[in-house]
């Protein structure tokens, strides 16, 4: 590989912040498509077994995670719309200001933004979030969730992992500096 080819490869990665927005858009589109398929092919609250530990079960969540505030009377819809909009905007600003070398943080934020916007679209259009993935073990059922929820969860886990890795790097660097002095 020539020097010019190596330089071109390096300039593409790590990605520019706007490239992470493509990840967010992909999450939003995948979330929307799977929710459409679930809404068209599943009956509300009627499980369809896929595996012994997985059902596809269409559910309408008027609340937040784990159906928190699900039966709060309707005000929660707009509360969660405002909350998700505000958090998404803050994360977007963070993403756009992120140094290029912090690609793990960029990926994490892109997943969280995509998931938050995916569920935000449901809340605005429908008044509830469409959930359909139902994982369970024996009598234990995890609350139904969707692609957006999965993206948010993976994004948060990656963000926490990245923060642990960064703290470890800083600690190692500090030890090296102390050893040099």
Domain range summary for the chain, segments of one domain joined by +? 15-180
Question: In sequence order, what are the residues at sequence separation of 6 or more whose Cβ sits closer than 8 angstroms to the Cβ of residue 36?
Answer: none
Nearest to 88 by CA among 138, 35, 124, 135: 124
pLDDT at residue 180, rounded to an integer: 58
pLDDT at residue 144, rounded to an integer: 93
How far from each other are the two terminal CA atoms of the chain, in whole angstroms? 41
Whole-angstrom Cα distance, residue 148 to residue 28? 7
Whole-angstrom Cα distance, residue 86 to residue 12? 30
Question: In sequence order, what are the residues at sequence separation of 6 or more whose Cβ sits closer than 8 angstroms to the Cβ of residue 181?
Answer: none
Q: What is the DSSP letter of 144?
A: P
Residue 14, preceding bond cis, omega within 30 degrees?
yes
Cite the active site residues: 131, 149
Contact present, 132 and 35 (Cβ < 8 Å): yes
163: tokens are 């923060």
13: tokens are 């990665």
Q: Output the tens digit of pLDDT for each of the chain's 181 residues.
A: 555 555 544 555 666 778 999 999 999 999 999 999 999 999 999 999 999 999 999 999 987 766 666 665 667 778 889 999 999 999 999 999 999 889 999 999 999 999 999 999 999 999 999 999 999 998 898 899 999 999 999 999 999 999 999 888 877 777 776 665 5
């Amino acid at each position: 590989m020539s020097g010019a080819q190596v330089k071109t490869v390096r300039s593409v990665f790590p990605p520019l912040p706007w490239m992470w927005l493509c990840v967010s858009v992909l999450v939003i589109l995948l979330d929307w498509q799977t929710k459409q398929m679930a809404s068209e092919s599943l009956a509300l609250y009627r499980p369809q077994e896929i595996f012994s530990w997985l059902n596809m079960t269409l559910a309408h969540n008027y609340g937040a995670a784990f159906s928190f505030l699900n039966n709060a009377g309707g005000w929660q819809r707009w509360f969660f719309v405002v909350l998700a909009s505000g958090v998404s905007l803050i994360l977007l600003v963070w993403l756009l200001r992120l140094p290029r070398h912090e690609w793990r943080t960029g990926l994490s934020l892109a997943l969280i933004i995509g998931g938050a916007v995916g569920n935000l679209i449901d809340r605005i259009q429908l008044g509830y979030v469409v959930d359909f993935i139902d994982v369970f073990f024996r009598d234990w059922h995890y609350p139904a969730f969707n692609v957006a929820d999965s993206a948010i969860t993976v994004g948060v886990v990656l963000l926490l992992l990245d923060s642990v890795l960064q703290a470890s790097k800083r600690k190692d660097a500090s030890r090296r500096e102390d050893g040099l002095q």
